[in-house]
Amino acid sequence: MKFVDEAYIDIAAGDGGNGCVSFRHEKYKEFGGPNGGDGGRGGHVFAVADPNLNTLVDFRYARRYEAKRGEHGMGSDMFGAAGSDITLKMPVGTILSDAETGEVLFELLTPGEVITIAKGGDGGFGNMRFKSAINRAPRQKTPGWPGEKRNLKLELKVLADVGLLGMPNAGKSTFIAAVSNARPKIADYPFTTLHPNLGVVRVAPEQSFVVADIPGLIEGASEGAGLGHQFLRHLQRTRLLLHVVDLAPFDDAVDPVAQAKAIVGELKKYDSALFKKPRWLVLNKLDMVPLDERAARVADFVKRFKWKGPVFQISALTREGCEPLIHAIYAHVKAVQVAEQAPAPEHDPRFPDASPA
């Protein structure tokens, strides 16, 4: 299935039905009084987060969605029926924003979550609503209220715990295939990955985390070079970034340090918040480096790259070094999850200026 992470749609909730003017006419009841009912409400438009979807491609081909209007009120105190609601299924991680202003309106972050994205209009009042002691035969009614209409931009940001970052052919797809259930396309040419891939990594029967692999970046991606950097949006919700570096490029003229610095530069240009996320360095393709040269090559890279964070040495092809990396990632993700769920420290009203230690 083609991966689509952006779409525009127009939605319209149903208008409310009009109220009715009617009077009771029965034999021997000359003054039956008003009995015009209210109109029915218009149908709502809902969105539900469906965990079985991973693309917005359906909304590329059908862009207009309208709920049914409510029925008009009728005589004999009969109210109009409500219009039928419609529910749009969207992938988990979809952001719904106003297409004109860019304001974020809704986010679908939990599987099965249901939100109302357009409310149907209320039905109008029939003349039975207006009867009173001084107005025994009202002929007033009100029209139904219009339903909400919106022009929406849908944007999908995949939900993953860990994101892979690196140049084309750094071995990201090989890594995610080696440690997870994902089966991305792997080949010996650049830009093999054309859309994000998600994989679930099982550390133990009840211990797992999700990894996202995005197309590789090159220098100048912010200006549109390569596939651009629009896929970086899928890393914004991750808890950890793995910067995968090819330590043994086929071309001797290619400097891995220069490539790594280019990636960091593109990351900083795209989003400063993403740049500040925890990031680990993963030096890949150790199987291509002679055993007696590995330590020196790794030390030289770290020194020239001026890296002070965690460093992991792996071969995604042979899985060498992958197991310790997986356990370290799980421990980090679990610690972040616990910190996110911890309640905020309570403020003691006796000490208004005191801050928690």
Percent of the chain residues topping a pLDDT of 70: 83
Q: Report strand pairing: 104-107 vs 162-166.
A: unpaired
Rounded to an integer, what distance in angstroms lies between the CA atom of residue 249 and that of residue 344? 48
Average pLDDT over every residue of 31-56:
87
Closest CA to 22 of 139, 100, 115: 139
* Residue 17 confidence class, pLDDT cut points 50, 70, 90: very high
Q: Is pLDDT above 70 for 231? A: no
Q: Place 230 in a pLDDT band, splitting at 50, 70 and 90.
A: low
Query: Bridge-partner residues for 352, per DSSP?
Result: none
308 class by beta-carbon count within 10 Å (0-12 exposed, 13-18 middle, 19+ buried): exposed
What is the reported pLDDT for 20?
A: 93
| Nearest-angstrom CA–CA distance, 142 and 123 | 9
Does pLDDT of 2 surpass 60?
A: no
Contacts of 1 by beta carbon, 8 Å cutoff, 6+ apart: 54, 55, 57
Which sign does the torsion angle of CA 243, 249, 254, 256 carry?
positive
Mean pLDDT of 314-339: 87
Give CA–CA dist 116/42, Å, rounded.
13
State in Å, rounded, how far the first CA of the chain is from the last one.
Answer: 52
pTM of the predicted structure, to 2 decimals: 0.64
* Domains parsed from the chain with CATH numbers: 1-156 (2.70.210.12), 162-341 (3.40.50.300)
Predicted confidence at residue 151, as pLDDT, reads 94
Task: Output the CA–CA distances (angstroms, integers) from residue 4 to 29, 103, 113, 223, 321, in the order listed.
Answer: 66, 21, 21, 21, 34
Q: Which amino acid makes up residue 170?
A: A
Q: Are 275 and 315 in contact (CB under 8 A)?
A: no
Q: Which residue has the higher pLDDT, 46 or 229?
A: 46
* Sequence ranges of the binding site: 166-173, 191-195, 213-216, 284-287, 315-317
Nearest alpha carbon to residue 166 among 52, 71, 280, 65: 280
**H or E element in which residue 240 lies:** strand 240-246
Q: What is the pLDDT at residue 81? A: 92
Confidence of residue 350 (pLDDT cuts 50, 70, 90): low
Q: Which residues are annotated as a binding site for GTP?
A: 166-173, 191-195, 213-216, 284-287, 315-317
> In the predicted model, what is the mean pLDDT of residues 163-190?
72
Lowest mean pLDDT among 82-96, 167-181, 192-206, 326-340: 192-206
pLDDT digits (tens, 9 = 90+) for 105-140: 998 988 889 999 999 999 999 998 898 888 888 989
Q: In the predicted model, what is the mean pLDDT of residues 181-197?
A: 54
Beta carbons within 8 Å of 21's beta carbon, 6+ residues apart: 34, 36, 126, 127, 139, 140, 141
Residue pair 161/240 in contact (Cβ under 8 Å)? The answer is yes
Q: What is the CA radius of gyration of the chain?
A: 30
- Tens-place pLDDT, residues 67-120: 999 999 998 889 999 999 999 999 888 889 999 888 989 989 888 899 999 999
Residue 233 DSSP class: G
Residues marked as binding for Mg(2+)?
173, 193
pLDDT band at 4 (very low <50, low <70, confident <90, very high): low
